Amino acid sequence: SQQGEEDPQALSIQEGENATMNCSYKTSINNLQWYRQNSGRGLVHLILIRSNEREKHSGRLRVTLDTSKKSSSLLITASRAADTASYFCATDVSNYKLTFGKGTLLTVNP
Amino acid sequence: DTGVSQDPRHKITKRGQNVTFRCDPISEHNRLYWYRQTLGQGPEFLTYFQNEAQLEKSRLLSDRFSAERPKGSFSTLEIQRTEQGDSAMYLCASSWGPGNQPQHFGDGTRLSIL
């Protein structure tokens, strides 16, 4: 079953714009992770945010976590064509098993 | 490159045949995971090893599926008597430590059942 659900399912923006993706989940978590997947490839880990953290940054990425609302957001600033990919949130409730949503397909147009 | 390696990248086989996939994790990682991903979906957990011990198996892993991790290094996933519904991308990941660590994924094995 899907624990996390990303919103929107698809997002199309112009290069240089910011992209925001949201994730909602149902149960208490240990941490929440964001991954990127290019077509036909494996997943690349972007950011892990623990349940006691509210915000983390990594380069052009900013992740927030609101455990009271059971939601997270991923912001990509100054997007590039190379950011085109599917983005998944994954929740960790067991310290080993990740439960993924269906992902957001981001298209960045040059 | 010392990332997670999976072999083969693609496998096409006829229904009813057996297939085996291999995963070589990042060398210092003690944990290894198998996931399955179908088109338009996120990965779904199949099973997990800590060193050589298989600690959990999903209900998705029917008795036709078996996974091993001898000596706590590489892992194999075997599917016996393949069915059309087994067509998917099979992803392997590894991580280090007791938890709260990112999982590092390989590029997967895409299985197509004719």
pLDDT per position in chain B (114 positions), as tens?
579 999 999 999 999 999 999 999 999 899 999 999 999 999 999 999 999 999 999 988 889 999 999 988 999 999 999 999 999 999 999 999 777 889 999 999 999 999
Give chain B positions within 8 Å (CB) of A101: 42
Of all residues in chain A, what percent carry a pLDDT higher than 70? 97
How close B17 gets to chain A, by Cα (Å)? 24
**Beta bridge partner(s), residue B93:** B33, B105
Which one of B48, B98, B100 has the shortest CB-CB distance to A97? Answer: B48
> Cβ of B79: how many Cβ atoms within 10 Å?
23
Give chain B positions within 8 Å (CB) of A2: 42
Distance (Å, whole) CA B86 – CA B12: 11
Distance (Å, whole) CA A37 – CA A83: 10
Q: Between chains, do B55 and A101 touch, taking CB under 8 Å as contact?
A: no
Q: Which tokens go with A67?
A: 């455990």
Give chain B positions within 8 Å (CB) of A50: 100
Chain B residue whose CA is closest to A91: B100
pLDDT, residue B1, reads 52
Cβ-proximal residues to B40 (8 Å cutoff; 6+ apart), any chain: A102
